[in-house]
A = this chain, B = another copy of it.
């Protein structure tokens, strides 16, 4: 059994601790955030912290760390008010990871993702992303304890392949082979186990897919 107590965690080499605590935080979708500044220079950066905040109205959040190069994304969002979430296929995991390099130019061109604009929306999307979500900035919440920032936005626009959508609104991301990740550098595909009925105390949940 691997055991770490708080005082041991604080004494670890900082890179080791970052790898441990990031990877232990579990599976996430790899989200590529597209944005541009007020003169139309675009940016694309990988995040793994999309958070569902509410469905009515639809609001998602993500976390920006103070010590990352990804602040371009936040600067752009604050400048234009718009950004995009793009989910990519597992076959693109190397390209997705490469967007975290410190490019001077646009990561779209640098790593080789196509750039698409939809309906004059003020943020670019990844052409080949099977799921594209247009977001509009609502507010940022400063997490004082370590300078981290939570960025809240409303879902303005959703585009995804027809065949992912079930009759009840469920989106089967695995059918588009959407990329998942843990920590800062590990990538995963997923395999569907099942959907279960609403849990009640007097019966076992049943498969509903």
Contacts and interface: CB of A to CB of B under 8 A. Distances in A.
Interface of A: 1-6, 9-10, 12, 14-29, 31, 48-60, 63, 65, 87, 90, 93-94, 97-104, 110, 131, 133, 138-139, 141, 143, 145-146, 148, 150, 152, 154-162, 164-165, 168-174, 178-180, 182-183, 185-201, 204-205, 208-209
B98 A205 contact: yes
Nearest to A208: B185
A188 B179 CA distance: 13
Nearest to A7: B156
Interface SS majority for chain A: mixed
A26 B1 contact: no
A14 B170 contact: no
Contact of A27 (B18, B29, B145): B29
Specify how many copies of this chain sit in the oligomer: 2
B4 A26 contact: no
B110 A17 contact: no
A55 B32 CA distance: 22
B158 A24 contact: yes
B191 A24 contact: no
Contact of A148 (B6, B54, B143, B174): B54
Contact of A146 (B2, B54, B183, B185): B54
Given A24-B173, A59-B145, 9 more contacts: A2-B165, A15-B168, A15-B169, A20-B169, A53-B143, A93-B193, A98-B199, A143-B152, A186-B195
Given A23-B173, A169-B17, A53 B157 contact: no
B58 A52 contact: no
A178 B26 contact: yes
